[in-house]
């Protein structure tokens, strides 16, 4: 599968013999906003996931298939009324190797740049409604608490998130 270990696909329903696109998704539990080797400066797991930019490319390919099946006008109307929910960034922060406040600023600058590029690409494809899932308090995830002798949350990681 070109999607590696991710879940991706489209849901269609028959409508008078023609498929009708009702949903599309691409989900990768290890996804990050970063996709270039230079991002390894902050993220230890870079390259072992399907980054946001590649997921947007997969969506572009799916959109082309949808247009072939249903027509450009119908797909444009569907996308303009669709809701695009994006939740990426937790893994970038959780796996980050930032040490200084300057590193945190650089990390967030890069994350925002990659988010902006993806949203711009989706907008140019016809998306108009977006939801962004905020990064949760990563210092309180079970693996972090187990590694802490007191079992408490890691406040430093929570502040970065």
pLDDT averages per 10-residue partition of the chain, 161 residues: 41 55 60 60 56 86 88 92 84 80 88 91 94 85 88 87 77
Question: What span, in angstroms and rounded, lies between the C-alpha atoms of 21 and 11?
Answer: 6
The tokens describing 87, both together, are: 């939740």
Pure H helices in the chain: 52-70, 72-81, 90-94, 101-124, 142-147, 155-160
Residue 158 in any domain: the answer is: no
Looking at the domain assignment, is residue 88 inside a domain? Answer: yes
| Domain extent at residue 17 | 7-136
**Element spanning 15, H or E:** strand 7-15
Identify whether 109 is part of a domain. yes
155 within some domain: no
SS3 94: helix
- Decide if 2 is inside a domain: no
For residue 72, the model assigns a pLDDT of: 95
Q: Is residue 150 part of a domain?
A: no
Instruction: Tell me how crowded residue 48 is: count the other CB atoms within 10 A of its CB.
Output: 13
C-beta neighbour count of 141 within 10 angstroms:
16
Q: What is the pTM of this model?
A: 0.75
- pLDDT for the residue 37: 46
Q: Is 85 helix (H, G, I), strand (E, B) or coil?
A: strand
User: Which DSSP letter does residue 41 get?
Assistant: G
The structural domain count of the chain equals 1
**What pLDDT is recorded for position 153?**
92
> Residue 42: its pLDDT value, please?
45
Structural domain contains residue 113? yes
Question: Residue 93 domain-assigned?
Answer: yes
């Amino acid at each position: 599968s070109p999607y590696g270990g991710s879940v991706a696909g489209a849901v269609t329903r028959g409508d008078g013999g023609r498929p009708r696109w009702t949903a599309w998704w691409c989900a990768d539990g290890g996804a990050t906003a970063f996709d270039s080797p230079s991002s390894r400066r902050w993220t230890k797991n870079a390259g072992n996931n399907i980054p946001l930019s590649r997921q947007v490319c997969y969506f572009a390919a799916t959109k082309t298939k949808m247009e072939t099946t249903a027509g450009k006008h119908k797909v444009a109307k569907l996308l303009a009324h669709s809701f695009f929910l994006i939740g990426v960034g937790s893994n970038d922060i959780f796996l980050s190797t930032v040490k200084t406040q300057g590193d945190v600023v650089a990390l967030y600058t890069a994350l925002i740049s990659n988010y902006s590029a993806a949203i711009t690409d989706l907008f140019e494809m016809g998306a108009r409604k977006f939801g962004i899932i905020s990064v949760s308090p990563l210092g309180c995830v079970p693996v972090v608490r187990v590694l802490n002798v007191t079992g408490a949350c890691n406040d430093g990681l929570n502040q970065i998130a």
